[in-house]
Each structure stands twice: as C-alpha cells, then as structure tokens.
Amino acid sequence: MIHSLFLVNASGDIFLEKHWKSVVSRSVCDYFFEALERATEPENVPPVISTPHHYLINVLRHRIYFVAVIQSEVPPLFVIEFLHRVVDTFQDYFGVCTEAAIKDNVVVVYELLEEMLDNGFPLATESNILKELIKPPTILRTVVNTITGSTNVGEQLPTGQLSVVPWRRTGVKYTNNEAYFDVIEEIDAIIDKSGSTITAEIQGVIDACVKLTGMPDLTLSFMNPRLLDDVSFHPCVRFKRWEAERILSFIPPDGNFRLLSYHVSSQNLVAIPVYVKHNISFREGSSQGRFELTLGPKQTMGKAVESVLVSSQLPRGVLNANLNPSQGTYTFDPVTKLLSWDVGKINPQKLPSLKGSMSLQAGASKPDENPTINIQLKIQQLAISGLKVNRLDMYGEKYKPFKGIKYMTKAGKFQVRT
C-alpha cells in the first residue's frame, strides 16, 4: 500500500513529507528528480517511475508534484485516485492548493493526511467525514480557538463513517432549502485542415449543490435518458433503479458534489458549434508568412457563442506576428511562440477575423511543422448533446425545496489542424 508521500514544488524542493509505515529516506526522490530533469516539459514526467526498491507514482497539480512511494504491488490507479483526493481535500480546506497554503496550514495538512490513510489503506476520504473530524480553518474559528482554547479536531466519531450513506452527515439544517444542478458539457474534437471532423466526443458532468435539511431522497429524470449509455455515478446513486427505469434516485451528500459524469461519443450526436477558416502559409525563400483566421458559428441551436479564446503555438522559426483583429485583442509571445486571441462573443452578422503577417528569421528555411489551433468557448443555456432534465422530486422530507437547473457547453480539447 502507500508508504510515503512527498510534496515537491516547481523548483524541485521537497517541502513536505509524510510516512504511513516506516520512514523512507527522502533520497528516494532522487530518481524522481532525474526523471524531472529528463522531461522537456513539467507535465511530461512519466507517472510511474521504478527505482531499485520502490515505485514512485506522481501527479502534477497546481504546480506541485505529489509523489507517492510504494513498495509492493499496488494498483497504480488506486494511488493516483488517492492523490487526486488529497489535492481535492486541500483545495476544499484551504480554498487553494498551493505551496504557501500548505505551509500555512501544515499541522492541519498533517492531521488530514493521518486521517486519510492508515498503514497505507484509505481511511476517510469523503470530505463530509473529514470535516467532522478536522474542522476547516477559518479566521473566525482560529480567533475563537485562541480565546477559548477549544480545538478544531472533532471529538466524536463522525456519524457518516459507518452508516449506509457514508457521504451524508446527519442533523443537517438549513433555513433556505435549495438544490441546484449544473449540466456542463465539454466538447473534445479534432478538426482537420479541410474542416471535416476527425473525432468528436462530449464529456458531460452534472454537478450539484444541494443544501437540504434532514435526509432528503431525490429522484431526477431526463427527457432523453437514452443519450446516457456510458455513465459513472457518485456512489449515492442507486444503480439498480437506473438500470431498470433510467431514473437517478439518490440521497444526496451535503453541499457540492458531482452526481454523474457521462460520455457521448457517437459521432452524429456531437454538434460542432464553430467553424474556422484559416490560411497560415510560408513561402520558400521569403522571410514573411501570411496569417488569416476567421471564426463563425456552426451548430449552436440558436444560442450565442461567448468567451471565445483562440490560441496557437506558432512554428519555432516565427520571430514576430503583426496581426489585425476585427474584434477583441491578441498577444504573441516571441519566446514561447504562443499566439492567443481573446475574441469574446461571436456575432453571426459580422464574423470575427484575425489577419496579418508573420516575420521569420532572415534566411531561415520554411518551418516544417503545421501549427494547431486550440479553441475555447462557452455557450450558456445549452447542453450540446441535447440532454434535458425532466423533473426533480424530493421524498422523505416535508418542506418545499427551491430547485434550479442550469446548462452550459464548453470546449474541452477542441483542436483545429492547419
């Protein structure tokens, strides 16, 4: 199981270590540093590194490497999932997960890590349970604690720890009872030179924020549940009911949680919201290159495309770019060669464009690589797969909750090849 954890910052210093079994010398991280040196980019460090006596499994989050040390055969996904949970917990507790935040709260961090893992076995990873065991630091609580001498460690066994609904604590009380659901879809797509779609898929999630008193039992049904044939549920969802009736039935955790994530990969169901016309060309022997880019809406179901951001890694040979945007602003970083254009909203009547020239190093040959264009965008009030919630009902409690559902489509890894 998980032996030890080292936290390494961007400059390659270990700033925290925690051991759950015997102490492993931090020199074991030398193997990790070797791999770090070899990697061209920080994110190119291989996730699993073998050393003569240990295995190092690492994830990079918020510019911190979380390096877990294991000694025996342990499923790597188990370790990675656990590390993700650690990151989420830190973020949950301290608002941000940075070196400074961790150092500021080092004792809480230590208490948390001790609570999350026992002898390498996960103990309590649900944020509900953890928060009952160790109260998150707030300014008010710190002040109160200093005056009264009370602690931020819970004295009682968390109620959720062993119940059948470990994700929910008992005795929840709210004056305003509300349940909000966000259906968020991200389109991943690769579009080729000619504008045809090579692959396109939708990663969807339903995130919920439920603040309801007592032990509510919710059911959520969809207008078109057939869309969802590849789904992962929060443990609270009753799988049998879904299998039989295609209805989500669950006792929700308290607060924010991800109810469900799904995947739509069938090509004809994935609408492509924008198209790109581009002409990026270099002539042999000339030190100039042309750059032309026009964006337009494609399948948007009549909704506006907003917050559009276009970025592209131009070839290494490009010295500078002199471009003229019809709207928004652009920047070009001559060191990283990253061009980014903040377009804003697409107006179908007046399509945004970015045109101009690029200058190459004098005498340099025509660049070999074709830049890829990366697009980010948002469409409010639309789930592009067409998924729609039919109704939300609550059982088990008497009050009338306030309900809300919001849809949003974003571009995930949306790439256009040139």
Partner 1 sequence: MTDSKYFTTTKKGEIFELKAELNSDKKEKKKEAVKKVIASMTVGKDVSALFPDVVNCMQTDNLELKKLVYLYLMNYAKSQPDMAIMAVNTFVKDCEDPNPLIRALAVRTMGCIRVDKITEYLCEPLRKCLKDEDPYVRKTAAVCVAKLHDINAQLVEDQGFLDTLKDLISDSNPMVVANAVAALSEIAESHPNSNLLDLNPQTINKLLTALNECTEWGQIFILDCLANYMPRDDRESQSICERVTPRLSHANSAVVLSAVKVLMKFMEMLPKDLDYYGTLLKKLAPPLVTLLSAEPELQYVALRNINLIVQKRPEILKHEMKVFFVKYNDPIYVKLEKLDIMIRLASQANIAQVLAELKEYATEVDVDFVRKAVRAIGRCAIKVEQSAERCVSTLLDLIQTKVNYVVQEAIVVIKDIFRKYPNKYESVIATLCENLDSLDEPEARAAMIWIVGEYAERIDNADELLESFLEGFHDESTQVQLQLLTAIVKLFLKKPTETQELVQQVLSLATQDSDNPDLRDRGYIYWRLLSTDPVAAKEVVLAEKPLISEETDLIEPTLLEELICHIGTLASVYHKPPSAFVEGSRGVQHKRIPARAGSGESAESSDVGQSGPSEAPPAVIPSQGDLLGDLLNLDLAPPTATVPSVQPSMQMGAMDLLGGGLDSLMGDDSDTLGGDIGGSPSMGAGLGAAPAAMPASLGAAPAVGGGLGDLFDLGGGVGMPTGSYVAPKTVWLLAMKGKGLEISGTFARRGGIIQMDLTLTNKAMSVMTDFAIQFNRNSFGLAPAGPLQVLTPLSPNQTIDVSLPLSTSGPVMKMEPLNNLQVAVKNNIDVFYFSCQYPLSLLFVEDGKMDRQVFLATWKDIPNENEAHFQIKDIHLNSDVASNKLQGSNIFTIAKRTVEGQDMLYQSVKLTNGIWVLAEMRIQTGNPNYTLSIRCRAPEVCQFVYLCYELVLKN
Restricted to residues 289-348, the positions that interact with partner 1 (CB under 8 A) are: 313, 316
**1 or 304, CB closer to partner 1?**
1
d(CA 46, CA 75): 16
225: amino acid identity, one letter? P
Q: Show contacts with partner 1 in window 156-175 (CB under 8 A).
A: 156-157, 161-162, 164, 166
**80 or 392, CB closer to partner 1?**
80
Residue 156 DSSP one-character state: S
Among 24, 29, 56, 59, binds partner 1 (CB under 8 A): 59
The 3-state secondary structure of 97-117 reads CCHHHHHHCHHHHHHHHHHHE
What is the closest distance, in whole angstroms, from the C-beta atom of residue 246 to partner 1 in the complex? 13
Q: How big is the chain by its Cα radius of gyration, in Å?
A: 26
What is the closest distance, in whole angstroms, from the C-beta atom of residue 402 to partner 1 in the complex? 27
Burial of 19 per CB tally in 10 Å (0-12, 13-18, 19+): middle
Look at residues 132, 136, 139 and name the one whose alpha carbon lies nearest to residue 154: 132
Compute φ and ψ for 302, nearest 5 degrees: 80, 5
The neighbouring-strand residues paired with 188 are 201
Sign of CA pseudo-dihedral 283, 286, 287, 289: negative
For the chain, the straight-line distance linking the first and the last C-alpha, in angstroms and rounded, comes to 47
Q: Show contacts with partner 1 in window 79-118 (CB under 8 A).
A: 80-82, 84, 100, 103-108, 110-111, 114, 118
Q: Show contacts with partner 1 in window 251-290 (CB under 8 A).
A: 258, 261, 263, 265
Helix (H, G, I), strand (E, B), or coil: what is residue 77?
helix
Burial of 226 per CB tally in 10 Å (0-12, 13-18, 19+): exposed
Among 190, 209, 276, 338, binds partner 1 (CB under 8 A): 190
**17 or 397, CB closer to partner 1?**
17
What is the closest distance, in whole angstroms, from the C-beta atom of residue 400 to partner 1 in the complex? 30
CB 110 within 8 A of CB 104: no
Among 88, 92, 182, 188, binds partner 1 (CB under 8 A): 188
What is the closest distance, in whole angstroms, from the C-beta atom of residue 233 to partner 1 in the complex? 6
Look at residues 367, 385, 374, 358 and name the one whose alpha carbon lies nearest to residue 417: 374
Place of tokens 């101009």: 356
What is the closest distance, in whole angstroms, from the C-beta atom of residue 14 to partner 1 in the complex? 8
**228 or 346, CB closer to partner 1?**
228
**199 or 322, CB closer to partner 1?**
199
DSSP of 253-265 = PSEEEEEEEEEE-
What is the closest distance, in whole angstroms, from the C-beta atom of residue 89 to partner 1 in the complex? 14
**12 or 47, CB closer to partner 1?**
47
What is the closest distance, in whole angstroms, from the C-beta atom of residue 351 to partner 1 in the complex? 25
Distances (CA, A) of 205 to 228, 403, 409: 11, 18, 11
CB 290 within 8 A of CB 207: no
**77 or 335, CB closer to partner 1?**
77
Among 177, 179, 201, 308, binds partner 1 (CB under 8 A): 201
Place of tokens 């809406």: 297
**37 or 243, CB closer to partner 1?**
243
CB 42 within 8 A of CB 60: yes
Token pair of 223 as six digits:
């207008």
Q: Show contacts with partner 1 in window 14-43 (CB under 8 A).
A: 14-23, 26, 40-41, 43
Site map 379..418 versus partner 1, x via CB under 8 A: ----------------------------------x-x-x-
**79 or 218, CB closer to partner 1?**
79
**111 or 342, CB closer to partner 1?**
111
Site map 351..370 versus partner 1, x via CB under 8 A: -----------------xxx
Asked if residue 1 binds partner 1 (CB under 8 A), the reply is: yes
